[in-house]
Amino acid sequence: MTDLAWISTAISNARPQAMGALLRYFRDLDAAEEAFQDACLRALKNWPKNGPPRDPAAWLIFVGRNSGIDAVRKRAKQAPMPEEDQISDLEDAEGDMAERLDGAHYRDDILRLLFICCHPDLPATQQIAVALRIVSGLTVKQIARAFLVGESAME
């Protein structure tokens, strides 16, 4: 039950829920993806030895959140904070969008993740490709095959 095929399936099935929860927590897509990837690496190390968790999605969210917090703390120690008057714009577009979505009626993390991937500033084909990559976890090669184009065209 702890073979790599089962682990791969469990991670793939948990990806949308875990990514949505991590995005809601960190309010930064890059930080959420990094935290999820770190949680997946830890799952590949721990699950074969210790057995699978009862709820893989909850495990990935918990470990990813802790990993992301550690990364934020590490970055805070390494880089000094700039003076406030040196920062020209204190507003972050992703933060503003996350606040608007939090204030709206979208309480589902996966739905929120889909709305962020399908930002109206992106062309429709890019919205679909981003959603397939981030929410579904498809590789660039798989997305290119779905769009009937070469892999280099999707990068």
Total domain count, the chain: 1
pTM of the entire predicted model: 0.66
- Which CATH number covers residue 71? 1.10.1740
**More confident site: 6 or 108:** 6
Q: Is residue 16 part of a domain?
A: yes
Asked whether 15 and 36 are in contact (CB, 8 A), the reply is yes
Residue 151 counted as domain residue? no
Residue 117 predicted with pLDDT over 80: yes
- If we measure between CA atoms, which residue out of 26, 18, 20, 30 comes closest to residue 62? 18
70 φ, ψ to 5°? -60, -40
pLDDT digits (tens, 9 = 90+) for 66-86: 999 998 888 877 777 667 666
Is 135 part of a structural domain of the chain?
A: no
Instruction: Give the mean model confidence (pLDDT) for residues 119-137.
Output: 88
- Considering only 18-22, 58-62, 126-130, which range has the smallest mean pLDDT? 126-130
Q: What pLDDT, on the 0 to 100 scale, is given for residue 33? A: 93
For residue 18, being part of any structural domain is answered with yes
Note whether residue 67 is domain-resident.
yes
CA distance to 137, 138, 141, per residue, from 132 (Å): 6, 6, 12
Q: What is the pLDDT of residue 37?
A: 95
Spell out the residues 6+ positions from residue 29 whose beta carbon is closer than 8 angstroms to its own. 23, 94, 116, 134
Range of the domain at 32: 4-90
